[in-house]
Structure 1
Amino acid sequence: MFEEAIYENYGFQMERQESIGGFSAFRFNNYLFSIIPLQEINEEELKERQQMSQFLIEKGDKYVSAFVMSKKETYLSQAGDTVFLLLVNGVLEEPRDYQLGKKLARFHMRARSYPHQVKSCSRIGKWKEMWEQRIDGIEAVWREKLQSHPGSEFEKLFVESFPYFMALGENAIQYLVDTEIDDQPGAVDYGTVCHERFLKNSWSGKVLVRNPFDWVFDHGTRDIAEWAREHYLENPHTYQPGMRQFISDYQNTSPFTSFSARLLYSRLLFPIHYYETIENYFIAQPESRQKELEESLAAIINRTQLYERFLQSFYEAAEIPVRTLRLPKLDWL
């Protein structure tokens, strides 16, 4: 579908087609090109992503994807009814023995000096509003299922478990609000380039690509929290050493303030893994996927005590100094 349009608009042959980070990609003259289809065109957002990308490339990040200009001197092209753009990377592999926490801290430090205002891609100061909207949306579904009586095992589990996870989400919002009222951000708390969801495989693969379409502009603890959450969920009994190393490596480069430690904790309190499981189920899914989501939900519910223990001991397990930073703890955990 894209081959003719790419040759016509850019003069590139699609050699060695593959998939990188969920996007179709191809090699040409030892460069890797990612094809980014656009469902809708938000010019402000595209400009912000292009500017963030260009800034980090100029700062020396050789893994960041660059936007490719077409022969028509535009970043946007069309293949049939699909509008798309191309990103390009050199074919580079990240050393396997690197310290991920340290690399992430350096990435955040570079991007913290980004000089332009960010609007469309910014999530700074929006956590409370977005979390409340998420809880309200799921609560509306819960009330509907409660009245109509749950018709499947998944719905039964959902109806029984939601009040607990709603309360957990509300605790996260309160912890966040208290932080913003009681504490003062420091220089390391300025906004930076983050990821929608930074996971263990975000910076891995045969070729390392830092794709601007994975990014949002936010507080750096967003990435730390989402990595820590995934790491815990995959290793609920043995997460401590890996998490301690990751956070230690990060802090050796960019130490937390009390504000950032509290923001990190509030994000871990917010049970995004539960909410996403519910949301994914009620979006039209094939029956096989619904069974998988039912099993995921049952596992989350069965491990609530383990998750509480993780939250209870998080500061200690991550070796974040509670007394020095005067970090408040939740009474009910």
Structure 2
Amino acid sequence: MFNRNEDISQDLFHHYQIQPAELIKVDSYYLFWQRNRVYFVVPVSQYKEEELQEMKKLSDYMQSLGDLSVATFVQNTQGYFVSRMANSNHALFRCNRQYERNKSIGEEFAIFHARGKKYAEDVVELNRIGQWKTLWEKRLEQLERFWQSKVNSHPENYFEQIFVESFPYYLGLTENAIQYVVDTELDTKPELVDAATICHQKLNIRHLKSIYHAKIPVEWTYDHFSRDLAEVIREHYFEYGDQCMEHILTFLYGYEKRSPLSSFSWRLLYARLIFPVHYFETVEGYYLTKTDDERKQREHELIYHLETAEKYEQFLGTFFEKIGLPVEKLGIRELSWLKK
């Protein structure tokens, strides 16, 4: 976890006149502390300039509202916000956060989302509001084409064999999620609380803890807040297993204490839980990895997901009941095949 990278250190001095005492590698970031502030060196080659500009505007806005957990772009000595470090484009972020966390994760994100909803400018590049159906269909079509090619060429190893066998089930689950979004948008009217806000592409609490709960703009998107809630719930489910409901209820209680959910919110959250993003990430991740160890890890993940697929169905089928949500009163439709 801890390692010194001379290239990054030299480039930091060259571009920012900063000499970190120690660089810490966390996921794809390097971080270091200086004068009680935490800095993050973040790869940004995958982002367009327009996306980075929107990220900067959003982070400046959130910091202007007093959100000390938001990391902001640091300008280099040439006046730019992107620098060439270790042979690729990076941005340096600084987080001024130096205080004790005195709120639950649920409360913290309810406040974060409430602030994000007040952002007045148009968001174009990072906007995903109302696009789930299209994005999920596109992702499904891409994986289906890939699956078909593996069926035609015959699986080369055990991973491909179980991928080929399992895909039709997850195709059906994804189609259910897409239809649920379509029905939600037809049947349920969004309320004021459902305004678009700053969210994470994929909120991960374990990752958040590893970066001292800093909120880094390259991880953001602009969407319905249920996106973040669903991913925290999914993470709790896979991390805590049979004990997950206690953690899920604590998280939702903290969030609703600050910002109650509408029927529309609950339905979007549920659609996102039905969408098997964990399956997509495992399969896509397998073919993107560069080492045998990483591929083996993805294979273990896929085996786990297949062995526990029925249990996840049960979780989905009893979710509203376990959180005590009056589905009939709120007009929330459940999927009958999950209630078996």
TM-score grouping bracket, smaller chain normalisation: over 0.9
CA distance in 2 between partners of 1:79 and 1:276 (Å): 28
Which residue of the partner structure matches residue 103 of structure 1? 108
CA distance in 1 between partners of 2:47 and 2:91 (Å): 11
2:201 is matched with which residue: 171, 176, 196?
196
CA distance in 2 between partners of 1:183 and 1:58 (Å): 34
1:167 is matched with which residue: 156, 159, 172?
172
Counterpart amino acid of residue 38 in structure 1: V
CA distance in 2 between partners of 1:84 and 1:296 (Å): 31
Q: CA deviation at 1:170?
A: 0.2
Q: CA deviation at 1:21?
A: 5.9
Q: CA deviation at 1:284?
A: 4.5
Deviates more, 1:260-269 or 1:3-12: 3-12
Q: Give matches, 1:219-298, under 5 Å.
A: 219-298=224-303
Which residue of the partner structure matches residue 67 of structure 1? 73
Counterpart amino acid of residue 43 in structure 2: P
* 8 Å CA contact 2:52, 2:218 repeated in 1: no
Q: Give matches, 1:195-214, under 5 Å.
A: 195-205=200-210, 207-214=212-219
The reply on whether 1:25 has 2:31 as its aligned counterpart is: yes
1:78 is matched with which residue: 70, 84, 90?
84
Structure 2, gaps ≥5 residues long: 1-6
CA distance in 1 between partners of 2:149 and 2:155 (Å): 9
Q: CA deviation at 1:93?
A: 5.4
CA distance in 2 between partners of 1:98 and 1:270 (Å): 30
Deviates more, 1:281-290 or 1:60-69: 281-290
* 8 Å CA contact 1:93, 1:208 repeated in 2: no
CA distance in 1 between partners of 2:279 and 2:266 (Å): 23
CA distance in 2 between partners of 1:27 and 1:115 (Å): 33
Question: SS of the counterpart of 2:70?
Answer: coil
Q: 1:5-48: CA deviations, max 9, x gaps?
A: 43343322222322356411223333222112331562211111
Q: CA deviation at 1:331?
A: 1.8
Q: 1:119-154: CA deviations, max 9, x gaps?
A: 111111111111111111111121122222222111
* 8 Å CA contact 1:78, 1:84 repeated in 2: yes
Which residue of the partner structure matches residue 184 of structure 2? 179
Q: CA deviation at 1:80?
A: 6.5
Question: SS of the counterpart of 1:16?
Answer: coil
Question: SS of the counterpart of 1:198?
Answer: coil
Q: CA deviation at 1:209?
A: 1.5
State TM-score, norm by structure 1: 0.93
Structure 1, gaps ≥5 residues long: none
Question: SS of the counterpart of 1:194?
Answer: strand
Q: 1:32-71: CA deviations, max 9, x gaps?
A: 2211233156221111101110111111101111111223
Q: CA deviation at 1:163?
A: 0.7
Counterpart amino acid of residue 107 in structure 1: F
CA distance in 2 between partners of 1:205 and 1:93 (Å): 16
2:13 is matched with which residue: 7, 12, 15?
7
Structure with more relative contact order (C-alpha pairs < 8 Å, separation 6 or more): 1
* 8 Å CA contact 1:93, 1:207 repeated in 2: no
CA distance in 2 between partners of 1:179 and 1:320 (Å): 17
CA distance in 2 between partners of 1:144 and 1:79 (Å): 38
* 8 Å CA contact 2:36, 2:98 repeated in 1: no
Q: CA deviation at 1:82?
A: 2.9
The reply on whether 1:43 has 2:49 as its aligned counterpart is: yes
* 8 Å CA contact 1:193, 1:220 repeated in 2: yes
CA distance in 1 between partners of 2:46 and 2:245 (Å): 42
Over the residues paired in the alignment, what is the CA RMSD in angstroms?
Answer: 1.9
The reply on whether 1:145 has 2:134 as its aligned counterpart is: no
CA distance in 2 between partners of 1:202 and 1:289 (Å): 18
Question: SS of the counterpart of 1:27?
Answer: strand
Which residue of the partner structure matches residue 132 of structure 1? 137
Q: 1:242-288: CA deviations, max 9, x gaps?
A: 11121122112111111111000000000111111111122244222
Deviates more, 1:174-183 or 1:313-322: 313-322
Bigger share in helix: 2
